[in-house]
Structure 1
Amino acid sequence: MSVTAQELETLSIKAIDAKATAYCPYSKFRVGACILTKSGEFITGANVENASYPVGTCAERVAFGTAVVAGHKEFKALAVATDISPPASPCGMCRQFIREFTSLDFPVYMYDGEGKHKVMTMNELLPESFGPGQLK
């Protein structure tokens, strides 16, 4: 399931724009995310911090949670955008969360503050991962 050039452009724009909705008064580290569903919908998320730091939620988990409760369970790609260079990759917790809903060849596009990107698969981000298949 490949991503078209138009889908990638929309995915990147929406992830970059989602940074503006981040609630990050403590770290000032804005993160935006956008998921492309198999049905062609784009669902965004942004990080939401909390004064009790571990309680905050990463942009990737916000986007996937929103998508899943809306009934989506199949996805084509994810874009994550930050203001730093090189681009930041999803944290370990997010990698495991994403893995629940994706295949090992699922692409994750990571954008820096200048709009440049790097792409990695879930297998590259979380090798030897534990996923739903281990519980069947």
Structure 2
Amino acid sequence: MNNEQIEIKMATAPQQLVEVALGALNQTYTPYSHFPVGAALLTDDDTIFKGVNIENVSFGLTNCAERTAIFSAIAAGYKQFKGLVIAGRTDEPIAPCGACRQVMVEFFEPDMPIWLINDTGKEIQTTIAALMPGSFNALK
């Protein structure tokens, strides 16, 4: 991840979101990549939705943790969000893929905090505006 392209802030991720995202690492279905990712999405009323990556042998059908959390929240009727934590068992904080970034553009306010973390305590705070500058969104 190129930190020059990501706006970095030093605010710490909410501990409850961190715990949910890190706990989700043990609930992934990753028999092919062995690359677990967990996510925790905070709604406007402080409900937390957990997401895990779920792989498929047809890799294009795999769903990332971030999208699992977002889609679960949308399916439950939520449309307003306050924060997202994405966790991985990586040397550096994990960054979302392009597909997840595009979904975030659709559903998140540009300045909503997103925390990228690893399982050893490293953390970066950013926003979808910083992760996806010049993004396409027909609704906004």
Q: Distance in 2 between matches of 1:101 and 1:68?
A: 9
User: Are 1:67 and 2:73 matched, yes or no?
Assistant: yes
Does the alignment pair 1:84 with 2:90? Answer: yes
Unpaired runs of at least 5, structure 1: none
Quote the residue 1:35 is aligned against.
Answer: 41
Separation in 2, partners of 1:45, 1:107: 17
Which has the larger helix fraction?
1
Shift of 1:132: 4.2
Name the structure 1 match of 2:104.
98
1:52 to 45, 49, 58: 58
Inter-partner Cα distance in structure 1 for 2:106 and 2:52 = 19
- Tell me, in whole angstroms, the C-alpha distance in 2 between the residues paired with 1:101 and 1:58: 16
CA distance in 2, matches of 1:119, 1:29: 22
Number of aligned residues: 130
Q: Quick one: higher RCO (CA 8 Å, sep 6+), 1 or 2?
A: 2
Structure 1 match to 2:26: 20
Unaligned runs of 5+ in 2: 1-10
Residues 14-41 of structure 1: CA deviation (Å, up to 9, x unaligned): 0110111100000000000000001110
- Counterpart residue identity of residue 29, structure 1: F
Q: Deviations over 1:59-97 (max 9, x none)?
A: 000000000000000000000000002111110000000
Cα shift at 1:11: 0.7
- Per the TM alignment, residue 133 of structure 1 is displaced from its structure 2 partner at its CA by 3.3
State the partner residue of 2:136: 130
Distance 1:61 1:30 in 2: 14
Deviation, structure 1 residue 115:
2.4
3-state secondary structure, aligned to 1:57: coil
RMSD: 1.5
- The TM-score with structure 2 as length reference comes to 0.88
The DSSP-based 3-state class of the residue aligned with 2:103 is helix
Shift of 1:128: 0.7
